[in-house]
Amino acid sequence: MSDTPTNYKGPQRVLSGMQPTGRLHLGNYLGALKNWVELQKDASRECFYCVVDMHAITMPHDPATLPDAVRSAAAAYIAAGVDPEKSAIFAQSAVPAHAEMAWILNCVARLGWLERMTQFKDKAGKDKERASVGLFTYPVLQAADILVYKATQVPVGEDQKQHLELCRDIAARFNRDFGKGEAVFPLTEPLIQGPGARIMSLRDGTSKMSKSDVSDNSRINLEDDADMIARKIKKAKTDPEPLPATVEELEGRAEASNLVGIYAALSGQTKADVLAEFGGQGFGAFKPALADVAVQYLAPISDEYRRLISDKAEIDRMLTKGAERARAVAQPVVDETKKTVGFWG
Ligand code: TRP
């Protein structure tokens, strides 16, 4: 068996995606979208940001609401600052090359690799015999999303690290088996947001802020207005102690640590900076300050989101344009890949 070639020479490209599972929230913004916006500033890298509706059907879903969920996610991307002129924003299912690529990569990935994926175990739950086969091969479709653009960088949250490693394994295996000494696919680098950007539930500092949490008070949605944001922060769970002066002393105080982390991320400071200002003060003083920062930062985003979502035709035009751009890059890659594996035509 020949060695794995590592001489990838293609252009730098960025790809990422989110599921269209209802409303996006502060955790999505600080953990991902903010970084997507930063990445598009460098014009030397083309950016592709998709809404992964093909991944969404790996779990039971409602066909009637899926298209609006896609629009809603796309609107949130734009409201957060992703520029549809600079970056391609599109629905995954509008670019058939993802599915074609996924089939080929399904035949490159090994069963044993997929059996180690922890997200499948979490999502499938106890009765994994009843999980869809799509849920099992979900990470291969994710690798296809990435490799069909030969994306070199993928900004994701910490929880996607394992899927990105799998993507590299698949790319390396393909290069070794079919590359004839050339690295056809890049070994994609994950851009993982730091632990500071891991935003937890406002009701429980040990679980991630999530759109599936039954309590709406657990999260700040990108569409919440100023009053709602302030109310949720006021209600956020805390402990009775005042804020400490050092980051080390936040250890074991999950809720306090989370609120300080949110303040830091929103205001572009470190947790230490925030504690230098608020150490010794109680939550009665800190929460209104946090609410101010959150409202100041998020109000323009939520205003823009509400404006966009009220004009479906505009979002659809933008998604159509984004899909055309994406297809122009993805189709030649999948055509080349089909030829490489010996497909007819
Ligand atoms: N699995 C990712 C998540 O749950 C979403 C996703 C699908 C993705 N395809 C992708 C992320 C490609 C980055 C690149 O967050």
CATH of the domain at 138: 3.40.50.620
Task: Kindly state whether residue 75 falls inside one of the protein's structural domains.
Answer: yes
Nearest-atom number in ligand 1 for the CA of 92 is 9
Confidence of residue 94 (pLDDT cuts 50, 70, 90): very high
What span, in angstroms and rounded, lies between the C-alpha atoms of 292 and 296? 6
- The residue contributing the CA closest to ligand 1 atom 2 is 18
Ligand 1 test: best mutation among 35, 50, 145, 199, most atoms within 8 Å of CB? 145
Task: Kindly state whether residue 67 falls inside one of the protein's structural domains.
Answer: yes
Do 66 and 179 lie in one domain? The reply is yes
Alpha-carbon 281 to chain mean position: 35
Q: Is the separation of the CB atoms in 153 and 187 below 8 Å?
A: no
Task: Kindly state whether residue 6 falls inside one of the protein's structural domains.
Answer: no
Do 318 and 174 lie in one domain? The reply is yes
282 pLDDT higher than 80: yes
197 pLDDT higher than 70: no
Do 181 and 247 lie in one domain? The reply is no
- The residue contributing the CA closest to ligand 1 atom 8 is 17
Confidence of residue 159 (pLDDT cuts 50, 70, 90): confident
Alpha carbon of 267 to ligand 1 centroid (Å): 27
What span, in angstroms and rounded, lies between the C-alpha atoms of 236 and 248? 22
Confidence of residue 141 (pLDDT cuts 50, 70, 90): very high
Tokens of 218: 């657990």
Task: Kindly state whether residue 60 falls inside one of the protein's structural domains.
Answer: yes
Least confident stretch, 190-194, 278-282, 320-324: 190-194
Residue 330's domain comprises 12-198+312-341
Task: Kindly state whether residue 177 falls inside one of the protein's structural domains.
Answer: yes
Residue 172: predicted pLDDT: 97
Do 158 and 38 lie in one domain? The reply is yes
Give the DSSP H or E segment for 14: strand 13-18
CA atoms within 13 A on the CB side of 69: 21
Alpha carbon of 10 to ligand 1 centroid (Å): 22
Q: Average model confidence (pLDDT) for the chain? A: 94
Q: Tens digits of per-residue pLDDT, 168-184?
A: 999 999 999 999 999 99
Nearest-atom number in ligand 1 for the CA of 18 is 5
Tokens of 211: 């759109």
Do 141 and 67 lie in one domain? The reply is yes
Residue 189: predicted pLDDT: 95
Residue 211: predicted pLDDT: 85
69 pLDDT higher than 60: yes
Task: Kindly state whether residue 207 falls inside one of the protein's structural domains.
Answer: no
Confidence of residue 2 (pLDDT cuts 50, 70, 90): low
Do 317 and 286 lie in one domain? The reply is no
Question: In the chain, how long is the greatest CA-to-CA distance?
Answer: 71
pTM: predicted TM-score of the whole model, two decimal places = 0.91
17 torsion bin: left (phi>0), alpha (psi -120 to 50), beta (else): beta
Do 233 and 294 lie in one domain? The reply is yes
Alpha carbon of 155 to ligand 1 centroid (Å): 9
Task: Kindly state whether residue 1 falls inside one of the protein's structural domains.
Answer: no
157 pLDDT higher than 90: no
1 pLDDT higher than 50: no
Alpha carbon of 165 to ligand 1 centroid (Å): 13
Do 258 and 296 lie in one domain? The reply is yes
343 pLDDT higher than 80: yes
What span, in angstroms and rounded, lies between the C-alpha atoms of 267 and 117? 35
Nearest-atom number in ligand 1 for the CA of 32 is 15
Do 156 and 253 lie in one domain? The reply is no
CATH code of the domain containing 272: 1.10.240.10
Closest CA to 232 of 281, 302, 308: 302
**Active site positions, annotated:** 123, 208, 211
Do 104 and 230 lie in one domain? The reply is no
Residue 24: predicted pLDDT: 87
Residue 31: predicted pLDDT: 84
Closest CA to 78 of 43, 47, 37: 37
SS3 127: coil
Specify the number of domains making up the chain. Answer: 2
Task: Kindly state whether residue 206 falls inside one of the protein's structural domains.
Answer: no
Other CB atoms within a 10 A radius of the CB of residue 57 amount to 15
What span, in angstroms and rounded, lies between the C-alpha atoms of 137 and 139? 6
Q: Tens digits of per-residue pLDDT, 9-30?
A: 899 999 999 999 778 899 888 8
Alpha carbon of 70 to ligand 1 centroid (Å): 14
- The residue contributing the CA closest to ligand 1 atom 14 is 16
Confidence of residue 77 (pLDDT cuts 50, 70, 90): very high
Do 19 and 76 lie in one domain? The reply is yes
280 torsion bin: left (phi>0), alpha (psi -120 to 50), beta (else): left
- The residue contributing the CA closest to ligand 1 atom 6 is 17
Do 107 and 192 lie in one domain? The reply is yes
